[in-house]
Structure 1
Amino acid sequence: MPTSELGFPVKKVREGLAEVLVPAEEVRAPKRATVFYNPVMALNRDVAVLVLRTFSEMAGRPIRACEPLCGCGIRGIRFALEVPGVSEVIMGDLNPNAVRLSEENIRLSGVQEKVGVRLSDANVLLTAFSAPGQRFDYIDLDPFGSPAPFMDSAVRALRSRGLLALTATDMAPLCGVHVNACLRKYGAVPIRTGYSKELAVRILLGALARVASAHDMGIMPLLCHATDHYARAYCLLEKGQGKANESISNLGYIAHCPSCHEREVIRGLGKPIAAECPYCGSKRLISGPLWTGRIFDRDFCSSVARQLAETPWVSRRAKRLLELITGEAEGPPAYYAVQKLCDAFDLRTPSIEGLVRALRERGWWASRTHFDPQGIRTDAPAREVLKAIRELA
């Protein structure tokens, strides 16, 4: 199709190994854009390529992938060009302009034998592949806003031991700014804390675990991150009542004291939760139900980072992100936002590396975190973190 027939001005951009046409207009919200393309999400797509390369090697089988909300098609095209184990990518979009542009980009990229695009609602497309023998190995949900409306269809369209990737850009509800919106979308209560970005990931995972369990599937988070304006999760799903039960056992709550900043992870949905902080007696904030288990698999994250040696086109930001994730992967839930903690207690903010070192010297587990450049992840309670900060002042 000649580009003049697209009906709107376009420009050429290069990302990874892909060179595609995108709308020659300012980035807008999808409802106002001719076709949605966001260059800021290049990091998201870089990491997705590395994760899918790792998963493809781990699975040891040809990978059939689906991107049911494809926009200009750049993500699916990059999968076809940059992931050797991908045998087929099926993309979809409900916007006819997006489908026409994706078709043109598929042709320009020379990936017609691997990639196809359909004019379809995302849930309709996923449901069409929900029968045994037709399901995908990998599904990537990257909507504008919440992935919640698509989770059930995605779970049904994913084979056992398939990988589901979720993006949530509705961080205001997930981080406690709009509580009712979070309740509607994710069935969980968010709270505003220094570590709200991690709570956002855990609420997202908790919602997915509940949806998957209804289909007797369990989830295993392999790699999660909250970067820029979104939360992202990669989860292995596996069929079986035992797997589903195991997932549900990882649901629970996090109780946060806004006065002394101590926090408690309560694993399990049926346990009583004390309203008052056991350390200072203040009323605690309770978030959940959410995922209380690990949000990273360190071996998988390390394997993803090793892919960087074979993908020199991937951004430096992706390299730094994966270094931080690998370093914090085995740490406990609920990092500390050191700058905010110091502000709350009128303390001078120390060097983050110095604080990590000081806590390790005291016998605590400690690392930096990708969630916050001024944050640390540690098993030390808040009172011990504050003690170390005061001694470094």
Structure 2
Amino acid sequence: MQIDNQITTITEGKTQILIPRGALEQKVPPRDIAFFNPRAKLSRDFSIIVYSTFLKNFEGQKLFLDGLSGLGARGLRVANEIPGTEVFVNDLNPSALELSKKSAEINNLANYQVSKNDICQFFNAFSKKGSRGAIVDIDPFGSPAKYIDCGIRATVHKGMLSVSATDLQVLHGLFKDACKKKYHGIPVKTAYSNEISIRLILGLTISVAARLDVEATPMFVETNQHYYRVYLRILNKPDTRDQIGYIAHCKNCGNRRATSESISSCELCSSTIELAGPLWIGKLFDKDFVAQMIQNIPDYVDKKCEKAIQKALLESEMPACYYTLDEIAERLKSAPIPLDQIISRLQQNGFSASPTSFNPTGFRTNSKIDKIKEIFSA
């Protein structure tokens, strides 16, 4: 097949993808070429592991719907690397879709179809009983907020909804009013802002689902540089859980916890508390599902994925709100100690403790910060 010299071919996973050179060479791609983010490869690797694990136990048509596909990198990889899938990708950029189709041809994919439509009109076409997707993917530039409703409607009972966000300045608290409007909650700037961000995304998605008499449960989440993503199982039944609440954070002593109530003062130092939320305060990982993911990691994906998934398994039953070594060391005005050392010391003192996939120097524990500081400096 003839490809012009402005187009290059990359291989991601086991899949060849045609990319405009400008999308790879320029930090801000021109508007007239299709957008592609090479830094999101790690996130696409995670997706392949999550989706293939999920579909192994899924009964029914393995239909994958990507509402904002760009050049189709994720959909192409699903079609090529996960057997038995039927993939429909959608975008409004005709040049992106044209390249996407050519990529499908060079990978000899007969299970890959493209659509040029508004995302919600695309999802609406699959929202009737018998035509819904086993996996529905929402991957916007910025916030996914306005697409979640139609994404849920297009997801089959016992299917999976996958949602990403890249508006991290909003989620991290630079624009609190914008965050409240988009995610129905406000953040607090902390050392664990990426966890608060993930919980805000989940809080919005789960609340929208509940309004539709749908229960959405987190299976796996990932934070990768400027890219946050959540994966939820969808069940067509009313959501009777009470897991929307707040993260209470004390700037004075560093104490933190998830709470279902709006509290005002710190239980350790009585200082005024800052509240992040409303947001999801339940589990971020389904332990059994993450264990299955570990058994299902292809050889060709980035090794960082395996390390992150191993950590996710260890932290899957742990409390909300991780700590970092630097944060504790700074409060104590001392040098950090190794991560395995603080985890070991906490466990020896009768606390549960684990590393976290959210931060390479982060750890989770059921200990309060006063005891952590005492153990840290012992």
TM-score bucket of the superposed structures, by smaller chain: over 0.9
Secondary structure of 2:295's aligned partner = helix
Q: What is the aligned partner in structure 2 of residue 107 from structure 1?
A: 105
Specify every segment of 5 or more residues in structure 2 that has no aligned partner in the other structure, as ranges: none
In structure 1, C-alpha distance between the alignment counterparts of 2:168 and 2:235, rounded to whole Å? 28
Query: Would you say 1:380 and 2:367 are equivalent positions?
Result: yes
Matching residue's letter, 1:293: G
CA–CA distance in structure 1, aligned partners of residues 280 and 98 of structure 2: 40
Matched, 1:257 2:254: no
Q: Distance in 1 between matches of 2:65 and 2:117?
A: 13
Aligned residues of 2:354 and 2:363 also touching (Cα < 8 A): yes
Give the corresponding residue for 1:282.
Answer: 271
Question: How many angstroms apart in 1 are the aligned matches of 2:264 and 2:373?
Answer: 23
Specify the code of the residue in structure 2 equivalent to 1:361.
Q
| Structure 2 partner of 1:35 | 34
Question: Which residue of structure 1 lines up, in the alignment, with residue 92 of structure 2?
Answer: 94
Whether 1:224 aligns to 2:221 is: yes
Whether 1:245 aligns to 2:237 is no
Specify the alignment match of 2:152 in structure 1. 155
Could you tell me how far apart the structure 2 residues matched to 1:33 and 1:182 are? 30
Distance 1:106 1:22 in 2: 13
Q: CA deviation at 1:31?
A: 6.9
Q: 1:334-361: CA deviations, max 9, x gaps?
A: 0012212321331221111100000000
Q: Establish whether residue 324 from structure 1 lines up as the match of residue 322 from structure 2.
A: no
For the pair 1:49 / 2:53, whether they are aligned, the reply is no
| Amino acid aligned to 1:369 | T
Distance 2:124 2:28 in 1: 26
Aligned to 1:234: 231
Does structure 2 retain, via aligned residues, the 8 Å contact 1:30–1:144?
Answer: no
Structure 1 residues 315, 123: CA separation in 2 closer, same or farther (over 3 Å shift)?
Answer: same
Which amino acid in the other structure matches residue 3 of structure 2?
A: T
Query: Does residue 192 of structure 1 match 2:179?
Result: no
Q: Which moved more, 1:33-42 or 1:183-192?
A: 33-42
- Using structure 2 for the length normalisation, give the TM-score: 0.96
Give, in whole Å, the separation in 1 of the partners of 2:118 and 2:38. Answer: 24
Number of equivalent positions: 376
Give the secondary-structure state (helix, strand or coil) at the position aligned to 2:301.
coil
2:60 is matched with which residue?
61
Identity %: 31
Question: Hey, what's the Cα distance between the residues in 2 that align with 1:380 and 1:33?
Answer: 53
Q: 2: CA distance between counterparts of 1:29 and 1:253?
A: 36
How many Å separate the matches in 1 of 2:33 and 2:67? Answer: 18
1:29 is displaced (CA, Å) by 4.7
Deviation at 1:382, TM superposition (A): 0.7
Q: Secondary structure of 1:245's partner?
A: coil
